[in-house]
Amino acid sequence: MLANIKLIVLLAATLSIGCAGVEPGESIEPSEPGDSTVRPERDAVPDIKGDSPSLVDPNCLDTAPAPAPMINGLGPTARITSMQLPTSIRAATEMGCPLVAGSKGGQGLTALMRVMAIDVDTLVNPDADGVIPSIILGHLAGWDVGQSGNQTSNLDLRMYTGTGGAGDTFGIDPASMNPNGQTRVHFPATVGCQALETETARIDFAVPVEDAEVPLTLEAAQVSGKISVDETGFNLTEGRIVGYVPIEAIVSIVSGIQAACGAPNAPMACDNAEILLSGDAEEITRTLVLPFLFGLDAQLSPDLRSASSCHGDACNAMSVCIAFEANSVNVEQL
C-alpha cells in the first residue's frame, strides 16, 4: 500500500502542475496530422505445421535445433534485456504494436513512467552496482532438445521473475509459482518461420517505486517476436508485449489510497494527495487520473481474453505496448 500511496502522490502533484511540460491527454511526442489510430502491422505466425510438403512456404526459414540445457536447468530460456515504450501513436505504429484500431498507442504507461521518472530500459539492465532491478525470464516449455522451431508444437511460454546468479545463469523466484507449483504467467505459444506468437493471457507485474512496488495487471496480453536459437537458449528481437489494463485495476488503486489515507495514523504522504482523496473513487479515476493517462481506448470482452475498438462509455481498458528484446541465458530449475 505504501507503494500505491507514493504513486498517487506523484500523480496528484502532476495533475496539479503538469509533468515536464506534458499536459493530461497530450501526446508525449507529436503525431502526424490525422494519425489517430494504431494499425496492426505484425503478421500472424505462418501455418507451416501441415502434413503436406506443398503447404510449407519455401521462404520460411527455420531456427537452429534447441540445445541441451545445463544440468538441473530449463531449456530453451532467455532474459529480457531491453524495453521501450511508445511516446506517440505514430511511434506505436512504427514499433508494430498490434493494438486494437483506434487506440492511443499504449501511451498511458509511458506517461505513468515519466511521472515516476523511470526509464523502463534501466529496469532490466545492471545498475552501477551490477544489480538488475527486474529480472524477467522466459522459458519455452515443450521445445525438445534437437528440435528446430518449425518442428515444434504445443509450446507454452512461461515467464518468471528471476533471481541473480553467476554470469548468464539465473534462478527462478518462487513467487513466480502458484501454490500448486505451476507458473503464474504462461501463454500457449507457436513458433514457425523464425517467429513466436502466443495466445492471450493475463499478466500481473509490479513497477518498482523507490523501495516498494506498484502492482499492475494486463488482460488479453500477448507476446510476439522474431526468434533465433543458439548454444545457450533462445533470443527474441522485435519483441512486443501488448495488453490492456482494465479500469477496475486503476480504480482499485485509487480506492486503496482513499482507505489508507482515511485510516488513523495515515502516512504523511497522504498530505500531498488531497486532490484524489475526496469523492467517489471511480469518478476521480475517470475525471482526473485517466485523462492524464490518455484515457480508456479499448473494450475488453467479458471473459477478458480479447479486446476490440470502442467509443465513449463502451471503453473499459487502457492499452499498453512494450517493445523488448531478449537474450539467451541459463536458468536453474527450482
Instruction: Inform me whether the pLDDT recorded for 62 exceeds 70.
Output: yes
* Tens-digit pLDDT profile for residues 234-270: 999 999 999 999 999 888 878 877 877 777 887 776 7
Instruction: Inform me whether the pLDDT recorded for 41 exceeds 50.
Output: no
Range of the domain at 308: 2-19+62-332
pLDDT interval class at 208 (50, 70, 90): low
**Residue 304 in domain:** yes
Q: In the prediction, which pLDDT does 16 show?
A: 41
Q: In the prediction, which pLDDT does 102 show?
A: 86
Q: In the prediction, which pLDDT does 194 show?
A: 97
**Residue 38 in domain:** no
**Residue 118 in domain:** yes
**Residue 51 in domain:** no
Q: Helical H runs in the chain? A: 2-17, 89-94, 107-115, 120-123, 247-261, 281-284, 290-292
Task: Give 86: exposed, middle or buried? Use CB within 10 Å, 0-12, 13-18, 19+.
Answer: buried
Give the whole-angstrom CA distance, residue 266 versus residue 8.
Answer: 14
Instruction: Inform me whether the pLDDT recorded for 29 exceeds 80.
Output: no
Q: What are the beta bridge partners of residue 172? A: 162
Q: In the prediction, which pLDDT does 24 show?
A: 46
Q: What is the pTM of this model?
A: 0.82
Please report, for residues 95, 196, 256, the alpha-carbon distance to residue 252 in angstroms, rounded to integers and kept in the order given.
31, 34, 6
Give the whole-angstrom CA distance, residue 147 versus residue 214.
Answer: 40
Q: Note the Cα 295 to chain centre separation in Å.
A: 18
pLDDT interval class at 76 (50, 70, 90): very high
**Residue 33 in domain:** no
Overall domain count for the chain: 1
pLDDT interval class at 288 (50, 70, 90): confident
Please give the average per-residue pLDDT across 50-56, as a whole number: 49
Q: State whether the Cα torsion 125-128-132-134 is positive or negative.
A: negative
β-pair type (330-332, 169-172) = parallel
Q: In the prediction, which pLDDT does 160 show?
A: 94
